[in-house]
Structure 1
Amino acid sequence: MVSHGDKSEDAVVSQHQDRPISTVVIITAAMQTEALPLVNKFQLTEDLESVFPKGVPWVRYHGVYKDLNINLVWPGKDLTLGVDNVGTLSASLVTYASIQALKPDLIINAGTAGGFKAKGAGIGDVFLASECAFHDRRIPIPVFDTYGVGLRQAFPAPNLVKELNLKVGKLSTGDSLDMPPQDEASIIANDAAVKDMEGAAVAYVADLLKVPAIFVKAVTDIVDGEKPTAEEFLQNLSAVTAALDQAVTQVIDFINGKCLSDL
């Protein structure tokens, strides 16, 4: 993970390139529906003595899969309203706390996303994000405008992309499910193939704390299609979650026994 003008990626690779990846943190999107299949797949156990601060709703599942210590962290449900903790605020907090507590070698942000048919996205497609940026932090002041976009490169994984035949595209993140004209203009400027509600926040924290991060996104709805986003999202969530589950399993199997430089 590296921002423009930063050499942190080189530092991370040189520091860890000869050491097999041992500890992985999977930061799931906020929907519990997207987290539980992976919990079952890797036979993870819920942490009953939380490593997180007392009172927060975040949930950690953990276990050993092959040679990897797997931690899956789900932001949980809002303590007042009982809905899933969606959005960038929970994502950034959970990522920060997970890095501090678990010291991962690699972060995988796994979740669903809207896709753009203009960029070749179809329902059920799985993308590995090449970079992440925000589309709803508009600060029209020199330099602050670039800060608002918050562009971060994902950790490069060309061998992973080739082996699993994943699509690659840019990810744009915002805190709203809909896409008003201002957001649309920013997403187009970001050249995004997929949009979500947490990726760029995870990328920001991973870059800040110098932890490599990759982003696996499965398309539930076509943003520039004919159907209403919310309707299409709910209609396809179950099937696309299965595709995401399969892709993340393949990613984990691929990185097992490998170093960061092998990705």
Structure 2
Amino acid sequence: MNERATQPIAIMFAMRAEAEPFLQQCAAQRLAVDSPLPIELYQATMAGLPLIISVNGKDQRYAVDRIATEAAAVSAYIVLQGYQPSLLISAGTCGAVNPLLQVADVLWVDQPICYHDHRIPLAEFADYGLGRYPVFFDAAIAESLALAGGCLSSGNSLDVCAADLQQLQLLGSDIKEMEAAAIARLCEDFSVPFIALKAVTNPVKVDHDAGAVFEENLARSVQALSGKLYALLQELITREN
């Protein structure tokens, strides 16, 4: 195994509910964290390769999962700086902009990741606002695991307004979620390959109770995500070895 292959693979989750099946599947052990932040870190091993798994943790004030881009960026920095992973995977759930997608479909993002709600009407900041951060994608592995590709964008709202939906359509986004662009930005800074793997929980549309549909479908989608994530890691590690 080469030196890079001995570095851990990092997997990041925003919500504990998204992470729980995978943590159980790989018998992950919690690590002590010397930080005032609520981030949870776990370690596991797969085929002899170490895994570092992060969950953003519960907000101390509001007692809910620290979802969205702010916590994602902080967690990504902690993981990238502290563990120097060879690869980082953002695993989680998403909403389907593409009407052909169904609940529990799992996508491996194959196009640069954008923000759909960073509207900065200053010419020199337009591209910065969009992001377009690179991703790692292997078409052969995706096909072998029946993982569809797709275009993802991130924003800080679970639902969408008309302006968000218009931007999603302009970007050609198949799915939207609340963390991946922030993590991809940090991975680019650290020159670490980035994968986004997302399972659909709800359709994305205006005047729609996204929260209720998300909660109804979360458990089913997370089970699908965990299975595909485990299979993807097995395939990546086998090829690396």
In the superposition, the TM-score normalised over structure 1's length comes to 0.86
Verify: 1:157 aligned to 2:141, yes or no: no
Alignment of 1:158-173 (within 5 A): 158-173=139-154
What is the alpha-carbon distance in structure 2 between the residues aligned to residue 221 and residue 17 of structure 1?
A: 41
Contact kept in structure 1, 2:160 and 2:206, CA below 8 Å: no
Select 2:11's aligned residue among 26, 34, 37.
26
Alignment of 1:199-238 (within 5 A): 199-224=180-205, 228-238=209-219
Q: After alignment, is 81-90 or 248-257 more displaced?
A: 248-257
Verify: 1:138 aligned to 2:119, yes or no: yes
The unaligned stretches of length 5 or more in structure 2 are: none
Verify: 1:121 aligned to 2:106, yes or no: no
Aligned-pair distance for 1:258? 2.4
Select 1:179's aligned residue among 136, 145, 160.
160
- AA aligned opposite 2:24: N
State the secondary structure of the residue aligned to 2:149.
Answer: strand
- AA aligned opposite 2:173: A
Select 1:55's aligned residue among 36, 39, 64.
36
State the secondary structure of the residue aligned to 1:140.
Answer: coil
In the superposition, the TM-score normalised over structure 2's length comes to 0.94
Aligned-pair distance for 1:225? 8.9
Alignment of 1:221-260 (within 5 A): 221-224=202-205, 228-259=209-240
What is the alpha-carbon distance in structure 2 between the residues aligned to residue 240 and residue 82 of structure 1?
A: 23
What is the alpha-carbon distance in structure 2 between the residues aligned to residue 18 and residue 144 of structure 1?
A: 39
Contact kept in structure 1, 2:154 and 2:180, CA below 8 Å: yes
Contact kept in structure 1, 2:160 and 2:205, CA below 8 Å: no
Deviations 1:3-44 (A, max 9, x none): xxxxxxxxxxxxx9995464110011x221111111100000
Q: Which residue of 1 aligns with 2:179?
A: 198
Runs ≥4 in structure 1, deviation > 6 angstroms? none
Contact kept in structure 2, 1:20 and 1:257, CA below 8 Å: no
Contact kept in structure 2, 1:21 and 1:255, CA below 8 Å: no
Q: Tell me the percent identity.
A: 28
What is the alpha-carbon distance in structure 1 between the residues aligned to residue 142 and residue 2 of structure 2?
A: 18
What is the alpha-carbon distance in structure 2 between the residues aligned to residue 96 and residue 258 of structure 1?
A: 27
Contact kept in structure 2, 1:60 and 1:74, CA below 8 Å: yes
Aligned length: 240
Verify: 1:73 aligned to 2:57, yes or no: no
Deviations 1:56-115 (A, max 9, x none): 100001021212201110000101111100100000110011011011000010000001
Q: RMSD over aligned Cα, in angstroms?
A: 1.9
Q: Which residue of 2 aligns with 1:104?
A: 85
